[in-house]
Structure 1
Amino acid sequence: MTSQQSSFIESARRVVAIEQAAIAALCERFDGRFVKACEILKDCQGKVVVCGMGKSGHVGNKIAATLASTGTPAFFMHPGEANHGDLGMLGANDVLLAISNSGETGELLNLLPVVKRLNVPVIAMTNRADSTLGKHADVVLDIGVEQEACSLGLAPTTSTTVTLVMGDALAVALLDANGFTSDDFALSHPGGSLGRKLLLTVADIMLTGDEIPLVPEQATVSEALLEISRKGLGLTGITDTQRNLLGVFTDGDLRRLLDARVDIHTTRVEEVMTRGCKTSRGEDLAVEALNLMEQYKISALLVVDENNQPVGAFNMHMLLKAGVL
């Protein structure tokens, strides 16, 4: 490794060490002020409007997005644009989350008279509680750091990381307080893999009709084996004359029968099938079915209705194809 390569790694480790120490120090600041900020945000009847300039604005954008996706309605308002008309986005029932490392950002301070006239609560995230922003805020969250990770001590690095962590802490505290669930999360992420995992139902992916592997109870094991081969799911259901599901017969069952030297041409499948088998319902979430399959080491499942009659079938490969795995 060259000296320059070593220098790259040394710089990276120094940055991580400085930022780790700053985050650890942040833990000591979760006190009554943090609780008050959470209470103001939780009681908000409108939206949380996040505002910040420059790097604070970039971080504020992410904080607003995190709040919105975890159950706290929020959006980002650029302070420069707010001074030229966008302040109309702020309503009397909203809360302003203002981010400024110095607490003296001019574009933010220009908004305060109107914000106070609307009687909108202000939560300030700054490293100076005695700054102009801090003095006019209802509560101040301290995001101060001892040093920036930048070797020049100039570029916002550690300070933006701490600000981001403080925003995450607010969002998750509110998520827990509001009882926000994985289903709620999925509703705000319908287009991504998380949404697919949390919203997709068994009915969305299962095979139906003639594609369901089924044989009557009087069928022989060899006939059941043919059905398994035709449908390609590694199992077949066994039904009575009313088409109620009695059990299943799988590839694994077949291997055990062959080891026991059972005549598959004369033995009826009902004699060797697995009764009381695990099944799924069409309205079940696909991820719940996946958990069941992993728990019992099952590679395929039959789907039944409220009368215990087969209406579908699926296997692990279909869950993988649907993006649930």
Structure 2
Amino acid sequence: MRSAGPPTVAALGGGHGLAATLSALRLLTDDVTAIVTVADNGGSSGRLRSEFGVLPPGDLRMALAALCDDTEWGHAWRDVMQHRFEGTGSLAGHALGNLLIVALWEIYDDPVAGLELVGRLLGARGRVLPMASVPLDIEADVREGERLRRVVGQAQVATSPGRVESVRITPENPPAYPESVAAIRAADWVVLGPGSWFTSVMPHLLVPDLRDALRATRARRVLVLNLDLPAGETEGRSAHELILSFAEYAGDVRLDAVVVDPTVAADRDTLRIVAQSVGAELVVATVSSRSNPGQHDPLRLAAALQDLFSGR
């Protein structure tokens, strides 16, 4: 790994969780690559995916917006990209950025080239890549009481009541973009999470090319744990159970650090033991937002990551 200058970072995830990580990382380096989930089947992304047979653009759009240049130009185009149409017509609910991305994909017939153009428009401080070259579907076994049922679809799994027991993707062995694999292998640091745990974070470990790259890379690997554990896909799970779920899907991929906020680190001895079982140092740091409980604060997360990057 390089020892001088800003680090090269690959960030894996999707949705608001990845956007929070990117908002922190852009304060530390311009050399960041977001590798984004492509399994969304709900809302505007799901409609466009179904109608045009494309990768769902929503999480990719959010990642690009999070990396926008910190200027009037960058902020203006970020807001344009994030604008969502209202009303009851055919455009209702669509984010303008989703439509722009799909239009560029039709013109250039190359998702990576289209995303690069949007990044140039935003003055993005980094680049955004899909984690797979085909749209994925999430399947999960969800336990509700004594009943174990199969739930299909990212949106359905994310909102299904009960405890997610296991998750898988279809197709089972999707091809990853070579650029995504190369970004992981070339990174100094790889950051996974936070985010929708079983539908945005863990699926990266189910793409064989990405898992192999995570195993082979010389980068140091950091897992950022969620904050609002009682809600959504992590309902009923403790922080150390999230680390164990990583181990379940990661196979022999090891970690170097696990970042956890004090609000979800009640049993630090157990957390430390479980983190060590996957090779990681436990880093307890205040990364939560004062004004938005349950969300990561970009400045605080940036400070915690900077301490890791600099070896403090």
* Higher gyration radius (CA): 1
Q: TM-score, normalised by structure 2?
A: 0.29
